[in-house]
């Protein structure tokens, strides 16, 4: 089974301004006042999903869409609209099979924006949203994955075809062009060595739960604005795992180079440091080169999944603080 979860093989609509100067003028902080940390009702699953998608796209992540850095025909507004339409569907995920949730969310996105903005994100969020609300993700995700059926695989394959994800290629077993005869987890296992989204199905969301969420927690504990927490977490993931989407578009060598460049940014410091900011801007420029084929879309998908878990589990909590 092969996937390409984004269609971001476009030239940039406008040159991305330096990340030093073009960070969003609205920045979320994970710091909550003592008075409000424990206040209010828990966020619904759908709200967690919508907020995770919004916060991920708001953060100035090198090489991807964010506010002020559109692609030629995939824009920040497209991602915002997509976040709004999938949230209500994910709110009811526990009441329907995972495959049906994936297909419904992809259809809603296609109807709303007419392009593939979030297939990888939907594939990751649908099982997470199916975990019963009173059960932690760590305790519940294995049961969701083991329950996935051939019907889930067929619905997910249909969703992938509907999203018209480019560059899928073909494989000898469980090719996306055919009707699968195995379960969704079995299909994902066939792609797990070359696709980080598929690997989450195969290993119980290991990278999301054991790396992305702890990185988000660390950034929150350091008191950074949430946009910086998200971008830093994204760099950490990129540096550890050459991005699957970059590898499919540009080859393994370029994917490894993107990982090495992300690691180099992290060696320059942390959010708030001048040299870190300059290195981040340089990475953004390099990733937006070559017809925009170097965009690390898979890394963004996993960060979004981690944000969903962090919001659901109260690691990232209300009230939000926004700074100009």
Give the H/E segment covering residue 83: helix 76-91
H helix intervals, 268-320 = 274-287, 297-312
Residue range 42-317 in CATH 3.40.50.180: no
User: Ramachandran region of residue 291, left (φ > 0), alpha (ψ -120 to 50) or beta?
Assistant: left
Asked if 92 contacts 61 with a C-beta cutoff of 8 angstroms, the reply is: no
- Low pLDDT (below 70) residues in the chain: 1-40, 165-177, 320-324
d(CA 229, CA 29): 9
* Residue among 225, 220, 246, 241 nearest 316 (CA): 220
d(CA 99, CA 208): 20
d(CA 127, CA 99): 9
- Give the residue extent of every domain in the chain: 42-317
pTM of the entire predicted model:
0.86
H helix intervals, 32-75 = 45-58
Tens digits of per-residue pLDDT, 294-305?
A: 999 999 999 999
Cβ neighbourhood burial of 68 (10 Å; 0-12, 13-18, 19+): middle
């Amino acid at each position: 089974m092969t996937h390409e979860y984004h269609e971001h093989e476009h030239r940039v609509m406008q040159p991305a301004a330096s990340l030093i100067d073009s960070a969003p003028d609205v920045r979320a902080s994970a710091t909550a006042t003592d008075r409000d940390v424990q206040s209010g009702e828990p966020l619904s699953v759908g709200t967690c999903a919508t907020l995770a998608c919004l916060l991920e796209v708001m953060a100035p992540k090198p090489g991807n869409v964010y506010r002020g850095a559109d692609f030629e025909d995939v824009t920040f507004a497209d991602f915002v609209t997509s976040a709004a339409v999938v949230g209500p569907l994910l709110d009811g995920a526990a009441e329907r099979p995972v495959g049906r949730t994936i297909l419904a969310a992809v259809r809603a996105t296609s109807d709303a924006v007419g392009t593939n903005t979030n297939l990888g994100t939907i594939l990751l969020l649908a099982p997470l949203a199916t975990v019963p609300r009173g059960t932690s993700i760590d305790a519940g995700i294995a049961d969701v994955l083991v329950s996935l059926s051939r019907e889930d695989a067929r619905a997910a394959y249909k969703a992938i075809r509907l999203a018209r994800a480019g560059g899928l290629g073909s494989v000898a077993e469980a090719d996306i062009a055919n009707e699968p005869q195995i379960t969704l987890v079995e299909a994902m296992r066939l792609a797990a060595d070359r696709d980080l989204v598929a690997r989450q199905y195969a290993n119980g969301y290991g990278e999301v739960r054991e790396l992305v969420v702890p990185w988000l927690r660390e950034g929150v504990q350091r008191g950074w604005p949430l946009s910086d927490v998200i971008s830093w977490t994204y760099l950490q993931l990129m540096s550890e795992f050459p991005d699957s989407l970059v590898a499919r578009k540009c080859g393994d060598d370029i994917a490894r180079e993107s990982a090495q460049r992300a690691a180099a940014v992290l060696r320059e410091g942390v959010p708030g440091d001048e040299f870190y900011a300059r290195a981040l801007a340089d990475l953004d420029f390099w990733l937006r080169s070559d017809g925009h084929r170097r965009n690390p879309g898979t890394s963004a998908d996993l960060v979004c999944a981690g944000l969903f878990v962090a919001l659901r589990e109260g690691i990232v909590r209300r009230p939000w603080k926004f700074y100009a």
